[in-house]
Amino acid sequence: MGFEGGYNSPLVQVGLIGLVCFCCPGMFNALSGMGGGGQVDPTASNNASTALYTTFAIFGILGGGIYNILGPRLTLLSACSTYVLYAGSFLYYNHHKHQAFAITAGAILGVGAGLLWAGQGAIMTSYPPPNRKGTYISIFWSIFNMGGVIGGLIPFALNYHRSEAASVNDATYIGFMVFMSAGTLLSLAILPPSKVVRDDGTRCTNIQYSNVSTEVVEIARLFMNWKMLLIVPAAWSSNFFYTYQFNNVNGVMFNLRTRGLNNVFYWGAQMLGSIGIGYIMDFSFKSRRTRGFFGIGLVAAVSTAIWAGGLANQLGYSRNHKPDKLDFKDSGADFAGPFVLYFGFGLLDAMFQSTVYWVIGALANDSETLSRYVGFYKGVQSAGAAVAWQVDTHNVSFLTQLILNWVLTTVSYPLLVVLVLLAVKNEGEEKEITKGMEVTPASVKEVA
C-alpha cells in the first residue's frame, strides 16, 4: 500500500502532528534531558515535574474525552501554549530562584500535555491504514524526536564555554520558547478525524462529534477494561525511567556542555529505534499477531541487555560518591562507555513506547476509542512519572532506582504478549472492523 499525499491524508496529518510535537514536547524533552531543567540544583525541576505529571495523570485520562468533544484544533492550540509558559518559568527562575512559578507552570503544563498526547495518540493510531500503523508510528516518532535532537543542540551551542557551576543561560530558554510558540500556531493545521480519508476510501471515524455524558461513561469504563489493565505496567514504567536517566546518569556523570551533546544522540537514537521497530511491526511476518510477538520479544531482549549495562555502570558510583564530571573532549576512553549507555537508553525508550502504541493501535481503528485508550495510557504513564520525580527528590539511591526501572519494564512484556494473543486481530479479520467506514468520491472531494 502506498502513501497518499493530499492535505487530508493520514500521512500529511501524522506528519503535521509530528511537527507540532517536534516544537513542543520535543523541546520540553531537550529541556528535561539536561538534568534539573538546566539548573545546577535539580530541586525546582523535580518539584515542577511532580506537579506536571500529577495533573498530567488526571488530564491524560480525561484528555481523550475532551479531544472527542472539542476536536483537534481547539484542544491542541490550548495544550501547546502551556509548553511556552513552562519554558518561560525557568527563564524567570534563572533570575529570581523562586520555585512557585515553575511549580505552577508545571501543573498547568500537565493539563496541556494530557490534552496534547491524547489527541496525538488518537491521530497517530487511528489515521493510518490498519496494516501500516507501525510505519506511521515510526514516522511520527522520528519527526517528534528530531525536536529533541535540535533541542539538544541549543544548550550545547549556547553553553559551550560556561562553567559547570552555572545554570544554562537565558538564550537557551528563549530558544525553546520560540520553537514552542511555532508549534502552538502549527496545531491549527490539524484536521478533525471525520475529514481525514485514507487512500482505500475509508475514514478514520464515521462519528462527527461527542458529548460530555458519553465521554464520562466511556472513560469510567476504561478502569474495568481488561485490555487497559494489561497495559498498566507498561504505561507506568514508560516515563518512570526518565528521572533516573536524565538526572542520575546524564545529570550526574557529564558536565554542562556534554549533557547537551548527549541529548542530541539520545533523541537521535530514538529515531533509529522507532524506525527499526516500526518496520518489524509492519513487515517482518505475514501474521500481525506473529509480528506483535516477535516485536515484543525483541524489545524485551534489548531491554535486558541495556539495563544490565546500566547496572554495570551504576556499580561504579552512588549518590554519596558521585563521579568526576565527564567531558566529551577531555575524558577520552572514560567517556565512551557511559555515552553508549545513554544512547542505548534512548534507543530502548523509542522501541518500548512504539511497541506499546502499536499494540494499542491494533486494538481498534476508530479515533474515538483510540483517543480514550491513549489517554488512559498517558494518564497512567504520567502517574508513574510523578512518583519517579519524588523518588529522586527524596534521595532514594541510584541503584534502587535502576532496579525499580528494570523490574517494571520487564514485568510489562509478558502482559503485552497476552494482550496481543487475546485481543489483536490478524489482517483477514480486520476487514470486519473497517466495514461500513467507506466514503464516496463526492465526500472525499468535499474535504480535500
The answer to whether 335 touches 326, Cβ cutoff 8 Å, is yes
User: Is the pLDDT at 393 greater than 70, yes or no?
Assistant: yes
> pLDDT value at position 1?
42
- Of 306, 330, 332, 321, give the one whose Cα is nearest residue 402: 306
What's the grid cell of residue 101?
A: 512559578
- Report the sign of the C-alpha dihedral through residues 418, 54, 85, 266, in that order: negative
| Whole-number average pLDDT of the chain | 87
> pLDDT value at position 35?
64
Task: Give the residue-averaged pLDDT of 12-30.
Answer: 94
> pLDDT value at position 193?
79
- Among 107-116, 211-220, 323-332, 422-431, the range scoring the smallest mean pLDDT is 422-431
> pLDDT value at position 2?
45
Residues 152, 165: Cα–Cα separation, whole Å: 19
- What's the pLDDT tens digit per position in 400-412? 999 999 999 999 9
Instruction: Give the max Cα distance, the chain.
Output: 69
User: Is the pLDDT at 300 greater than 90, yes or no?
Assistant: yes
- What's the pLDDT tens digit per position in 324-364? 999 998 888 899 999 999 999 999 999 999 999 999 999 98
Say which residue, 188 or 154, is predicted with more confidence.
188
**Domains of the chain: which residue ranges?**
10-194+207-447
User: Is the pLDDT at 48 greater than 80, yes or no?
Assistant: yes
Neighbours of 299 (CB within 10 A): 25
Say which residue, 258 or 83, is predicted with more confidence.
83
Residues 24, 261: Cα–Cα separation, whole Å: 20
Domain 10-194+207-447, CATH among 1.20.1250.20, 3.40.50.300, 2.40.37.10, 2.40.50.140: 1.20.1250.20
**Residue positions counted in the chain:** 448
Residues 285, 126: Cα–Cα separation, whole Å: 22
How far, rounded to the nearest angstrom, does the alpha carbon of residue 61 sit from its chain's CA centroid? 15
- Among 76-80, 330-334, 396-400, the range scoring the smallest mean pLDDT is 330-334
- Among 202-206, 237-241, 242-246, the range scoring the smallest mean pLDDT is 202-206
